[in-house]
Amino acid sequence: MSDIGTILLGLGDKLAAHVLLSAAAIALGIAVALPLAIWASRSPAVARATLGFASLVQTIPALALLALFFPILLSLRAVFGEGLPTLGFLPALLALSLYALLPILRNAVTAQTNLDPGVIEAADGVGMTFWQRLRLVEAPLSAPYIMAGIRTAAVWTIGAATLSTTIGQPSLGDPIFAGLQTQNWVLVLAGCLASAGLALVTDALLGTIEKGLASRRRRLTFGALGAVLIGILAALFVQFGGGKDERIVIGAKGFSEQYILARLIGQRLETEGYAVDYRDGLGSAVAHRAVATGAIDILVDYTGTIWTNEMGRSDNPDRDTMLAEIAEWEARTSGTHVLGRLGFENAYGLAMQREVAHFGMFNDIGDLAARGQAMTIGGDPEFFERPEWEAVRNAYGLRFAAQRNFSPTFMYNALKSGEADVIGAYTSDGRIAADDLVFLDDPERAFPNYDAIILLSPEASEDEGIVVALSPLVGAIDVAAMREANLSVDRGEDKLTFEEAARRLAERIGL
Amino acid sequence: MTEAPGPLLELCDLRKSYETTDAVSGVSLAIARGEFVALVGASGSGKSTLLKTVNRLVEPTSGTVRFDGEPIANLPLAALRHRIGYVFQSIGLFPHMTVSENIAIGPRLVGEKLAARRVEELLELVDLDPAMGARMPDELSGGQRQRIGVARALANEPQVLLMDEPFGALDPVTRDALGNRVRALHEKLGLTSVMVTHDMAEALLLADRVLVMEDGEIVADEVPRALLGGAGGAIAQGLVAVPRAQANRLAELAR
């Protein structure tokens, strides 16, 4: 396992993206909040309405706010056209700006209402116009308080920006989500340290500006402001300086197998001379949408997921028919290209500990329906929302005493510790063998096929080089190889990084 | 008395109504050039409201104010206030500006830069050390601050000086000294001054003419000597009785 220093040094890109996203969100927050505050200081009704709205936004969990911008932007495409991005920077920017609004607005309004009425009377008495009063008196006297609000907003925004990973915007949340997924606490710690460090430095610099404004020391104010600008410029340079616009972006959903396969694909492309970038930790629907719209170029997806979730199908044909129909549907609806199967299947299945299943004589899902009503079932956060679960539940008439959500990693722990008796597990997961779990048979064939397939965005599918570089992966990875690779990053000790696991996998399959 | 015909300030049937009450209920008044007028009355009598209609810090509900014959509603607000110095009890020095910057603010608003020499002159006019310009307001005493308030009001070389309880928050010694200073400046600069005060003694000692207000109306309009001689009616005499009794008692004590 690489040590934390190395990981931190490797976070430069994420840090730069994080800085730019946070800075843009705070800047937009300021640009909206200050005019509103001026308006609000002239009208109590506006003050009530704006502060009420900003407070309401604050009660929405940041993660949900980020997620909500996906459908909002999607519906706005009717107005702004298909070019409007629904994932990545734009929705993250909008959600975080809304979040930054409240502290800035509240402090600005409070500062305005707390201005000494004598000073305002004097400003009017000497004949100041509206703008003169604002510029010469109200703004300089309110500035330290507004700065304090901006400071609070900055710390919040930098923290909340880690969540933008889930909607496909690179940030310091990437290592946190990747580490959480694989119980790689060093990775989580590195992400937290970097994010907290950034927040502390920003807080200190903005605090210095605030102090400079309050004590009217221009050198202090402009010195700290200069430092902030240099930081943002450095981030801009890292992001855009090297002319790396031509990067191929590989998406990964939030579990180990996806991270490893993304690296495997990335490494192959890199040896062919491509520059690559990763969007990790995407939700299922988000990831598919991202590849279909070209927000990412390459994604490994699963036939059953597309079949039930994207196409809304509930029938269950054989795997070749299913793949052919998916390929036709993808090509027709978005121009997304199905390159082919990787060779293994990562199906959902219901898994139990071997001895529990053996002792209770649970062989297939029907047994569970008959005798499992007192049991607790665990699943990943998506599982119980997916149509497959509904199909299985209805096919067998499943009823449980409780159902609980876990992140995939903790789901396996829950099974071990008895907090769940049966889980919705993944067949290619390395922990199936490592934890000595068995899958219950599915005689009704309620779970569809989940062959792993490579999807290329419409644009990427026209790049001959990509197709050539990735074609050797088609049919090359069997489930045993995938399980071993997954286990090598999921196990508690002697973990490999995703990059190392991808290299070992490449060696094993002879590439 | 003056070179130009007609009063400098003329208030015609001026009324200011709030939801339930009239703060000023139909006041008509003319103030000649060079007059020093004191507006005296109890709290809530409407004297401050009346004063502020002159520089439009209060907009009257009805009636007109004429400044040098011109209805002030026709004048641009900034231009009007530029010609009228305003001094009030809470002073309102800008805390983020130096003493010099505070004094120079009026000219600055119309794009003029007040010369350092002129700032020093203004400081001298209000009996302050000319070197004080670099200080910040919070380093000064209350009396010094109000002196600067007066200097700021005079920086535009206004024709009219409006004062709303200008010495109300000062200690008696400072109050007396600054009152006399302002009266001297009134003479020296040829100002037309209107001062609101609740202190009849101050009004009698400083003003040429004393107006007594009660419930939004002017109930007495006399020169100080006439008031002391018993003119002006019951309300005015009630106000005059206080300092007179105090003076008599002091005289007895001294005997």
Letter for the amino acid at A214?
A: A
**Cα–Cα dist A335/A330, whole Å:** 6
φ, ψ of residue B207 to 5 degrees: the values are -90, 160
How many angstroms away from the CA of B108 is the closest CA of chain A? 10
pLDDT confidence band for A1 (50 / 70 / 90): very low
Going by C-beta distance under 8 Å and a sequence separation of 6 or more, which residues neighbour residue A493?
Answer: none
Q: Is B134 on the interface with A (CB under 8 A)?
A: no
Write down the ipTM of this complex.
0.91
Of B177, B205, B244, nearest in space to B195 by CA: B205
The total of other beta-carbon atoms located within 10 Å of residue B32's CB is 17
Query: CB under 8 Å to A334, separation ≥6 — which residues?
Result: A292, A293, A458
B67 close to A (CB below 8 A) = no
What pLDDT, on a 0 to 100 scale, did the predictor assign at position A70?
Answer: 81
> B136: which 2 tokens?
């910040």
Among A278-292, A421-435, B35-49, name the one with the lowest average pLDDT. Answer: A278-292
DSSP string covering A95-110, please? HHHHHHHHHHHHHHHH
In this prediction, residue A245 carries a pLDDT of 58
- Three-state SS string over A479-500 comes to HHHHHHHHHHHHCCCCCCCHHH
User: Cα–Cα distance between A73 and A83 in angstroms, integer?
Assistant: 11
**Which of B52, B94, B160, B196 should be substituted to probe chain A, the one whose Cβ sees the most A Cβ atoms within 10 Å?**
B94
SS3 content of chain B, % helix, strand, coil (to 5): 45, 25, 35
Residues of B in contact with A124 (CB under 8 A): 57, 81
- B93 CB neighbours in chain A (<8 A) are 119, 122
Per-residue confidence (pLDDT) for residue A82, from 0 to 100? 74
Question: Is there a contact between A127 and B95 if contact means CB atoms under 8 Å apart?
Answer: no
Taken as a whole, chain A contains a residue count of 511
Q: What angle do CA A353, A355, A360 make, to 5 degrees?
A: 100
- Range of lowest pLDDT (A82-86, A448-452, B160-164): A82-86
Who among B79, B86, B96 is closest to A125 (CB)? B86
Q: Which of A119, A121, A127 sits opposite B109 (nearest CB)?
A: A127
Interacting residues of A490 by C-beta distance below 8 A, sequence separation 6+: A182, A183, A256, A409, A429, A430, A431, A434
B114 touches chain A (CB under 8 A): no
Residues of A in contact with B196 (CB under 8 A): none
**CB–CB contacts below 8 A, A to B:** 61
When scoring A126, A131, A215 by the number of chain B Cβ atoms within 10 A, the one with the most, hence best to mutate, is A126
For the beta carbon of residue A236, count every other beta carbon within 10 angstroms: 14
Min distance B105 CA to chain A CA atoms (Å)? 8
Query: Does position B1 have pLDDT exceeding 70, yes or no?
Result: no
Instruction: Verify whether the Cβ–Cβ distance B81 to A127 is below 8 Å.
Output: yes
Residue A117 and residue B86: Cβ atoms within 8 Å? no
Does this model's pTM top 0.80?
no
- Domains along the sequence of chain A with CATH: 4-240 (1.10.3720.10), 249-346+449-508 (3.40.190.10), 348-439 (3.40.190.120)
3-state DSSP helix/strand/coil % of chain A, to nearest 5:
65, 10, 25
Q: Do B91 and A122 touch (CB under 8 A)?
A: yes
Q: Which residues of chain A neighbour B51 with C-beta distances below 8 Å?
A: none
Task: Compute the nearest-CA separation of B138 from chain A (Å).
Answer: 12
Q: What is the pLDDT of residues A369-419, one digit of tens each?
A: 998 889 999 998 888 888 888 889 999 999 999 999 988 778 888 888 888
Residue A87: pLDDT band (50, 70, 90) is confident
CB B241 within 8 A of CB B199: no
Contact B152 A126 (CB under 8 A): yes
Residues in chain A with CB shorter than 8 Å from the CB of B88 are: 118, 121-122, 125
Among B79, B90, B152, beta carbon nearest to A118: B90
> Does A124 reach chain B within 8 Å, measured CB to CB?
yes
B92 touches chain A (CB under 8 A): yes
Sheet of strand B70-71, all strands in order from the earlier edge strand to the far edge: B22-31, B9-17, B62-67, B70-71
Do the Cβ atoms of A182 and A256 come closer than 8 Å?
A: yes
Instruction: Determine whether the interchain pair B92/A123 forms a contact, defined as Cβ–Cβ distance below 8 Å.
Output: yes
Answer yes or no: do A118 and B105 touch at CB < 8 A.
no
Q: Is the CB of residue B152 less than 8 Å away from at least one CB of chain A?
A: yes
- Can you tell me the distance from the alpha carbon of B122 to that of A198, in angstroms, rounded to the nearest whole number? 52
pLDDT value for A158: 96
Q: Do the chains contact at B78 and A125, CB–CB below 8 Å? A: no
Using a CB-CB cut-off of 8 Å, the residues of chain A touching B96 are 140-141, 216
- pLDDT for A80: 85
pLDDT at B34: 94
- 3-state SS, residue B90: coil
Tell whether A118 is within 8 A of chain B (Cβ). yes
Side-chain half-sphere CA neighbours of B151 within 13 A: 29
Q: Which of A121, A123, A141 sits opposite B88 (nearest CB)?
A: A121
Mean pLDDT of all residues in A62-83: 84
**B41-100 confidence digits (pLDDT tens):** 998 899 999 999 999 999 999 999 999 999 999 999 989 999 999 999 999 999 999 999
